[in-house]
């Protein structure tokens, strides 16, 4: 299956006229991870805040489902962009939590999509942050995570 998903992605990229050097694949915890290594500027594949990656990921999932009539977890990345973005989100969230712990009150993360908000919520569900609570506020696409002290 891993090879089939890789071939689907390779074919879609070729149809898009995208020049890539390789597609790295791995299978962990029932999820297929694919990372595209681009020969040229990868920003067209990434898009604004990773929007294009998510769209391409959904296309690959849809093609796979149509061919196999089964759903698989597929996580697509380009030049490890999503991993780097995740680390940046975590660092920003930790800084905001430190401020809340020092000064009280609340801190708001910038607008994020549901995937990025989930990263923040998951971070603060860990025992290390037992005094911090989060909630999502607002409407998409301006939905944000509010960070505050547990009552």
Domain harbouring 141, CATH code: 3.30.1370.50
Q: What is the DSSP string of the chain?
A: -HHHHHHHHHHHHHHHT--EEEEEEEEETTEEEEEEEESS-THHHH-GGGHHHHHHHHHHHHHHHHHHS---EEEEEETTHHHHHHHHHHHHHHHHHHHHHHH-SEEEPPP--HHHHHHHHHHTTSGGGTTEEEEEES-TTS-EEEEEE--
74 and 93 part of one domain:
no
Q: Which domain holds residue 94?
A: 84-149
Which of 63, 79, 95 is the last residue in one of the domains?
A: 79
The total domain count for the chain is: 2
47 and 111 part of one domain:
no
Q: Which of 149, 148, 77 is closest to 115 using CA atoms? A: 77
17 and 58 part of one domain:
yes
Which of 79, 98, 116 is the last residue in one of the domains?
A: 79
106 and 132 part of one domain:
yes
Q: How far is CA 54 from CA 48, 59, 75, 82, in A?
A: 11, 9, 9, 10
For residue range 42-52, list pLDDT tens digits in order: 998 999 888 89
Q: Tens of pLDDT along the chain (151 residues)?
A: 899 999 999 999 999 988 899 999 999 999 999 999 988 879 989 998 888 999 999 999 999 999 999 888 999 999 999 999 999 999 999 999 999 999 999 999 999 988 899 999 999 999 999 999 999 999 988 999 999 999 8
103 and 39 part of one domain:
no
Domain harbouring 46, CATH code: 3.30.300.20
């Amino acid at each position: 299956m891993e090879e089939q998903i890789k071939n689907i992605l390779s074919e879609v990229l070729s149809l898009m006229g995208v020049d890539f050097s390789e597609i790295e694949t791995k299978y962990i915890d029932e999820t297929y991870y694919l990372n595209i290594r681009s020969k040229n500027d990868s920003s067209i594949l990434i898009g604004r805040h990773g929007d294009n990656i998510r769209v391409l990921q959904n296309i690959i999932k849809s093609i796979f489902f149509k061919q196999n009539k089964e759903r698989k977890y597929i996580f697509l990345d380009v030049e490890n962009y999503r991993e780097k973005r995740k680390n940046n989100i975590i660092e920003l969230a930790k800084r905001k939590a430190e401020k809340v712990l020092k000064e009280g009150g609340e801190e708001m993360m910038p607008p994020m999509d549901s995937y990025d908000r989930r990263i923040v919520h998951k971070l603060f569900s860990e025992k290390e942050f037992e005094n911090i609570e989060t909630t999502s506020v607002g409407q998409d696409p301006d939905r944000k995570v509010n960070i505050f002290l547990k009552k």
